[in-house]
Amino acid sequence: MVGLKLAGRLPGVHLNGKGKAQARRLAAELAGLPIKAVISSPLDRARETAEPIARIHDLPVEINEGLQEIDFGTWQGKSIKQLRRRKLWKDVQEQPSGFCFPEGETFTDAQSRISDTLQALSKKYAEKDIVVCVGHSDAIRLAVAFFLRMPLDAFQRLRIDTASVTVLYLNDTHAYFGTINAAQDFFGLGTNFQ
């Protein structure tokens, strides 16, 4: 969201000062890990979050369209207050599995895109490799719900904060989480990767 608007895939939405500080702090927290790749959604705000992490590890930021924000269609750029007044808002909140954003994407399609992307990335790297994927809150919540085998209609019960860390371990047969939505004060990453 931009202020109180749904940013979606709008171009030119950048991190503000607080977001840039969070990105630098996140990079510092991850500095000691042997990160093999930094992969980002193509949107400016995601790339700006990924860049400090990549810089510390002397890696490029790889862009992956599969990590893209949900396509909110004609809702993109609208105020949350305005969207809450629409009859369809209740469907988005209570039955997202059956909802398609006008001229946009369904939550089901977005979840498939994101989970397929993460699974493809897990096959590209060795099982012990640490890969940082930078995406968007709703996309991360959809991925967490998928790998936890939660019903899609419950995904909005999950919380993903800006510049938080969710650690997902994937291999050919299993998916499990080291942490979900870890705040920067407590990533607990040091022991997870030893």
Q: Are 50 and 40 in contact (CB under 8 A)?
A: yes
pLDDT at 1: 47
The tally of domains found in the chain comes to 1
CB atoms near residue 111 (< 10 Å): 23
Asked whether residue 86 is assigned to any structural domain, the reply reads yes
β-strand pairing of 175-182 with 130-134: unpaired
Q: Are 39 and 118 in contact (CB under 8 A)?
A: no
pLDDT at 127: 87
Structure token pair of residue 127: 């099982």
Asked whether residue 8 is assigned to any structural domain, the reply reads no
Asked whether residue 34 is assigned to any structural domain, the reply reads yes
pLDDT at 184: 58
pLDDT at 174: 87
CATH number at residue 127: 3.40.50.1240
pLDDT tens digit string along 41-51?
Answer: 999 999 999 99
pLDDT lower than 70: segments of the chain: 1-3, 184-194
pLDDT at 19: 94
Q: Supply the range of the domain harboring residue 185.
A: 17-192
